[in-house]
Amino acid sequence: MSVWFSVGTILGYGADFHVATAAGRLFTVGLYMLSLILVATYTANLASDLTISKSQSVISGIDDIRKGKIPFGRIGIVVGSAVEQYYLREISDENRNYYPLNSQKEIYSKLLSGVIDAAISDTGLLQYATNQLYCNLTIVGEDFDKSSYGIAMPQQWLYEQELDVNITSLQESGAIDDLTTKWFETSNCPDPSVISTSIGIEAMGGLFIIFAAISVLSLLLFLWTQRLSIKDYLLTSACRKKPSAQPDASLDQSFMKISTELPISTVAPSLPSSSARNHLYFQTEF
């Protein structure tokens, strides 16, 4: 019955009987607190997991944008950039159906505010922004329309050849790759794969400690209210374990004597003759 009552209370169903003692009521309060917080925590975690699963990226790359998986009016493009030319040429067939942006910084503000769902921009700029500044944003899909960066310089510049030689030397030695990894690929944001929004047993430890304390108090209260009954039970058990006393020998002898003499005094209902009396007396004395 105790297990049935505990399970019914935790599940919120309730048992078909009610506690009548103070210790039972105190323990029931602890069970109600435990069940209330556990159910509320599980409900919150479930709602959070469902929300996160629904908020996953609806696109996986540039092909999904071409297929129109998200409205074109919610795709941000910086006006006057090389990305705009690519969009008009490869995706919209010269149709300016995108959401116009005035600067690179506006991409991040519009994404965070929910005005747009996606944006197209240079990989290097997006990598630095998502790894160093805006941890709530992410890059999806593979690179496309790859091109090289260039450094503008005046014609017939004195150090033009020396700059070309040094850049080539840095590329061959791997120094440029190291700089790319340091500034664009290294992230200061926490890894989203190891971030858990669920509440673990460590966070719920205080709840179980409180429940254990209430259970101990309930047990102590029960022992206090039943102290007289427990004392009587212990005394009764101790008395039962004591060895019984030896019977008195004099009582046994007297009982045997009375038992032996009793038939002689009640043998005959009527007085016999004198000869018979003598005969009976003779046999008794013998």
Count of CB atoms situated within 10 Å of the CB of 261: 10
CB under 8 Å to 86, separation ≥6 — which residues?
120, 145
Q: 76 φ, ψ to 5°? A: -90, 135
**Residue-level pLDDT at 7:** 61
- Edge-to-edge strand ranges of the sheet holding 75-78: 99-101, 75-78, 118-119
Cα(93)–Cα(90) distance, integer angstroms: 7
The predicted pLDDT at position 89 comes to 87
Q: What fold, for 62-185?
A: D-Maltodextrin-Binding Protein; domain 2 (3.40.190)
Q: How much is the pLDDT for 56?
A: 56
Query: pLDDT value at position 16?
Result: 61
**Average pLDDT, consecutive stretches of 10 residues, N- to C-terminus, the chain (286 residues):** 60 62 75 78 78 65 84 88 88 86 90 88 85 85 76 85 89 87 76 58 74 84 81 79 53 43 42 40 37
Displacement of CA 161 from its chain's centroid (Å): 64
Residue with tokens 């009982």: 255
Rounded to 10 degrees, the C-alpha dihedral 114/118/124/125 comes to: -30
In the numeric block, which tokens belong to residue 87? 């969009």
Query: Could you tell me which residues are beta bridge partners of residue 77?
Result: 100
Question: HSE (CB half, 13 Å, CA atoms) of 200?
Answer: 3
